[in-house]
């Protein structure tokens, strides 16, 4: 394949040289007109370019074959997460708990999460902080059962998540992922993705809580304003707020925000968190926040500190602050 393009280019250049060489001799013998030579060269180049384009097949076919093999592999793969024959009925009061949870990625030698224990009840806000690779996103991906745990127990609304069908379990959860993805269409279409029956009043309420109503009102068409694929006609912070509003419009038992405030300025971040705490619907649910900023999680009822997949701290901001101060004093005393 690497030889095709140089070879075709060499042939084209050689053909040009040959036509010019013999054409010049014929012109000198007055056996050919100059215009005929130019026309012959043009036709010859068109033929050669067609052969060059034809040679592209030899490059594209192997690529297409490799892609088709991979697509068929995915189509033929079977899910490792098996639904029960009948789904259990969730309790009315939102509840979330992890008990001695341990999880390994397929083929991994070390656990991505180990001995994770915490619980949350209606109205609670749970914050998860830690460095890159500490297992924050892995932990929240276990809640909607994107992966099955290896040890321990996870319960949602009083029931083991393995006793739910995946569709029923995920109906209880509204997840805002790290990457705010918007789809081609209108603002209304994007917000109704999780709740097709949401009214305009509910959509505007979700936008108000997400601090997104101001720029949507300024948008040509409002809720019917156009959204490009990927939301490229919005800034990073605006996309995040629309993704948050989409989750809020769902009316879930558990709201999960996976580092969804990272593109927001401090003022918008603070206003959004204040609106979440005041909203009556959110008070009936559980909020799980993954964040990098301390200011984002300072008001949480429970803060989990993860390091290399292990919980190194759990408590409120003040409790963790006292614990850190105490450990620092002990270390100074040892020195």
Q: CA–CA distance from 83 to each of 80, 87, 110, 138, 166 (Å)?
A: 10, 8, 27, 21, 7
What is the per-residue pLDDT across 182-218, written as a single tens digit (0 to 9) for each?
Answer: 999 999 999 998 889 989 899 999 999 999 998 999 8
Q: Within this chain, do residues 191 and 283 fall inside the same structural domain, yes or no?
A: yes
pLDDT band at 266 (very low <50, low <70, confident <90, very high): confident
Q: Are residues 143 and 269 in the same domain?
A: yes
Question: Does residue 277 register a pLDDT over 90?
Answer: no
Q: What angle do CA 163, 166, 169 make, to 5 degrees?
A: 70
Show the tokens assigned to 196: 């097709």
Q: Which domain holds residue 20?
A: 4-76
* Helix and strand numbers, DSSP H then E, in the chain: 12, 12
What is the total count of domains within the chain? Answer: 2
Residues 282, 221 share a domain: yes
pLDDT in tens, 141-174: 999 999 999 999 999 998 999 999 999 999 999 9
Check whether residue 240 and residue 272 sit in a common domain.
yes
Q: Would the pLDDT of 71 be above 90?
A: yes
Residues 46, 138 within the same domain: no
Same domain, 157 and 265: yes
The first and second tokens of residue 240, run together, are: 């995040």
Assess whether 129 and 186 both reside in one domain: yes
Q: What is the mean pLDDT of residues 4-21?
A: 84
pLDDT score at 103: 93
Output the average pLDDT for the chain.
Answer: 86
What is the predicted pLDDT for the residue at 288? 92
pLDDT band at 324 (very low <50, low <70, confident <90, very high): low
Residue 108 Cα distances to 50, 113, 141, 205, angstroms:
51, 12, 17, 44
CB 20 within 8 A of CB 41: yes
pLDDT value of position 333: 54
Q: Kindly list the distances between the CA atom of residue 221 and the CA atoms of 183, 217, 218, 225, 311, in Å, as whole numbers in the listed order.
A: 17, 8, 8, 4, 47
Residue 47 lies in a domain: yes
| Residue after which a domain boundary falls, among 76, 111, 127 | 76
pLDDT the model gives residue 325: 54
Report the pLDDT averaged over residues 255-281: 86
> What pLDDT is stored for residue 132 in this prediction?
84
Percent over 70 (pLDDT), the chain: 96
pLDDT at 16 over 90: no
pLDDT band with cut points at 50, 70 and 90 for residue 330? very low
One domain, residues 17 and 153: no
Here the tokens at position 116 are 């994770």
Give domain status of residue 311, yes or no: yes
Q: How confident is the model over 213-239, as pLDDT tens digits?
A: 989 998 888 889 899 988 888 888 889
Is the same domain home to 9 and 72? yes
Q: Is residue 251 part of a domain?
A: yes
- The answer on 178 and 289 residing in a single domain is yes
Q: Average pLDDT, stretch 38-44?
A: 86
**Does one domain contain both 112 and 26?**
no
Domain boundary among 49, 76, 103: 76
Q: Are residues 56 and 108 in the same domain?
A: no
Kindly state the average pLDDT of the residues 110-139.
90
Give the CATH number, domain containing residue 287: 3.40.50.300
Backbone angles phi, psi at 143, to 5 degrees: -65, -50
Is residue 20 assigned to a domain?
yes
At residue 78, the pLDDT reads: 85
């Amino acid at each position: 394949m690497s030889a095709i393009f140089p070879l075709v280019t060499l042939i084209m250049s050689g053909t040009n040289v040959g036509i010019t060489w013999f054409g010049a001799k014929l012109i000198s013998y007055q056996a050919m007109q100059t215009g005929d030579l130019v026309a012959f060269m043009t036709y010859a180049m068109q033929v050669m370019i067609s052969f060059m384009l034809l040679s592209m097949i030899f490059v594209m076919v192997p690529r297409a074959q490799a892609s088709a093999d991979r697509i068929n592999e995915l189509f033929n793969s079977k899910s490792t997460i098996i639904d029960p024959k009948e789904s259990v009925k969730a309790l009315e009061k939102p509840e979330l708990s992890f008990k001695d949870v341990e999880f390994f990625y397929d083929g991994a030698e070390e656990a991505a999460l180990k001995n994770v224990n915490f619980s949350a009840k209606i109205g609670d806000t749970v914050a998860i902080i830690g460095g890159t690779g500490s297992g924050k996103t892995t932990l929240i991906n276990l809640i909607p059962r994107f992966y099955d745990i290896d040890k321990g127990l996870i319960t949602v609304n009083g029931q083991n998540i393995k006793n739910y069908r995946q569709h029923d379990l995920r109906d209880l959860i509204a997840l805002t992922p790290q990457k705010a993805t918007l789809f081609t269409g209108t603002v209304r279409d994007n917000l109704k993705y999780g709740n097709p029956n949401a009214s305009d009043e509910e959509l505007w309420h979700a936008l108000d809580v997400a601090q997104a109503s101001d720029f949507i009102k300024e948008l040509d068409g409002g809720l019917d304003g156009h959204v490009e694929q990927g939301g490229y006609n919005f800034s990073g912070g605006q996309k995040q707020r629309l993704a948050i509003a989409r989750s809020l419009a769902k009316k879930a038992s558990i709201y999960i925000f996976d580092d969804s405030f990272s593109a927001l300025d401090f003022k918008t971040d603070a206003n959004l968190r204040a609106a979440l705490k005041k909203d009556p619907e959110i008070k009936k649910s559980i909020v799980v926040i993954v964040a990098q900023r301390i200011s984002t999680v300072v008001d949480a009822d429970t803060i989990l500190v993860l390091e290399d997949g292990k919980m190194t701290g759990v408590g409120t901001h003040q409790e963790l602050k006292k614990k850190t101060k105490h450990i620092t004093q002990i270390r100074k005393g040892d020195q």
